[in-house]
Amino acid sequence: MANVTVIGAQWGDEGKGKIVDWLASRADAVVRFQGGHNAGHTLVVGDTTYKLSLLPSGIVTGTLSIIGNGVVLDPWHLKSEIEKLEGQGVVINAENFAIADNCPLILPLHRDLDGLRETAAGAGKIGTTGRGIGPAYEDKVGRRAIRVCDLAHLDAMDPQLDRLCAHHDALRAGFGQPPVDRAALLAELKDIAPFVLQFAQPVWKRLKKVRKAGARILFEGAQGVLLDVDHGTYPFVTSSNTVSGTAASGSGLGPNSTGFVLGIVKAYTTRVGSGPFPTELDDDTGQKLGERGHEFGTVTGRKRRCGWFDAVLVRQSCAISGVTGIALTKLDVLDGFDTVKICTGYRLRGKILDYFPSHAADQAEVEPIYEEMEGWSATTAGARSWADLPAQAIKYISRVQELIETPVALVSTSPEREDTILVRDPFVD
């Protein structure tokens, strides 16, 4: 049986939560390997809706859920999210949940810096969630981060706090802010430490044991490939690598463990925040897509920008991340359109491009080349087999997989877990 790595192949918000939840019910372990609580996964199970931003989606099903070392962890948010889920009847303990002891922490000073930077940037702001994820990753790379394992040694923190505060005090002074209150920070860490440490362990060892037993591991990505710090629409990207290869480095397992790479792809395109968006529709059609798709960010509540499906971007994402097959979500949102369009290329200053350029100025200037297809009036909502789909919807799916040069493995037709058409089983293939 194969392991499965799930990534978003657009700008995030592709419906990964529902797909991961569907797969988690058949997995033995679910691992978050990058990002922080800037992720937003909505799960609908029966009459209950769960909203997750840090915890792996498998926690709802009782599957062993692990936060890997590639994640940056806000311990206070973790406590709040666990308490909320426990209030919904979800059982969370050291048996079904673990945190990598070498996972870096997001601190209040990271949230402060995130907000100060975005406010000062004005028109040049990136559009972050303001939760301190970027600054926490900077401190990790700068070798001044406080990690989960440090919570067990807070009485010996002075040298680390010296390095951390020397950096942040200078930045804060530039924004006219007072130095970090070291005593208050240390007190907050001492207060939260027992809660976090009950879950802390070298998770690479636990995963090695799970894998040796022949169990199925599901690696859960956050955001999307187009937000990858290297391969995305830089600088309007997240602070981590979101491609499938990060599943290995962000979990402590080798690259031969990631298995089937499932790219989650929405049947149209959305984006939250700033940055280029070639197929964006600032008209009634875009408004209709947003209303029918309930396009508001799970974490921020911000309205998502909407547009037609961009096959160029998805083909690029699939190639960069080695996607084995895609899960096409929200097909039902396209029900009732007389015609639907797919972007098949770009025009840039008289040239035709079959890829998305790297420079921000070129990205902002490209014009989409569309292929128009007949829409369908019958509903796809709730379909669980090809026979339930209108002929034109099947043609649309076929054309999408042809243009992105990647086969469709799953089709999701509603937020409900069981409203899924299985074309190719990622755990078997």
Task: Cite the active site residues.
Answer: 13, 41
235 preceded by cis ω (within 30°)?
yes
Q: Which ranges of 236-359 does DSSP label H, i.e. alpha helix?
A: 246-249, 284-292, 311-320
DSSP β-bridge partners for residue 370: 343
Q: φ, ψ for residue 8 (rounded to 5)?
A: -85, 135
Query: What per-residue string of b and e applies to 228-241 under the rule 16 or more CB within 10 Å gives b?
Result: bbebbbeebbbbbb
For strand 64-67 and strand 97-100, is the pairing parallel, antiparallel, or unpaired? parallel
The position carrying tokens 């989409």 is 368
Task: Give the 3-state secondary structure of residue 5.
Answer: strand
Rounded CA-CA distance 317/147 in Å is 32
Rounded CA-CA distance 8/387 in Å is 27
Task: Give the 3-state secondary structure of residue 303.
Answer: strand
- DSSP letters, 50-72, are EEESSS-GGGGGT-EEEE-TTB-
Q: Strand runs (DSSP E) across 248-293, as ranges? A: 260-266, 269-271
CA 152 from centre of chain: 30
Sign (positive/negative) of CA torsion 67, 72, 78, 80? negative
Q: Are 306 and 334 in contact (CB under 8 A)?
A: no
CA 429 from centre of chain: 24
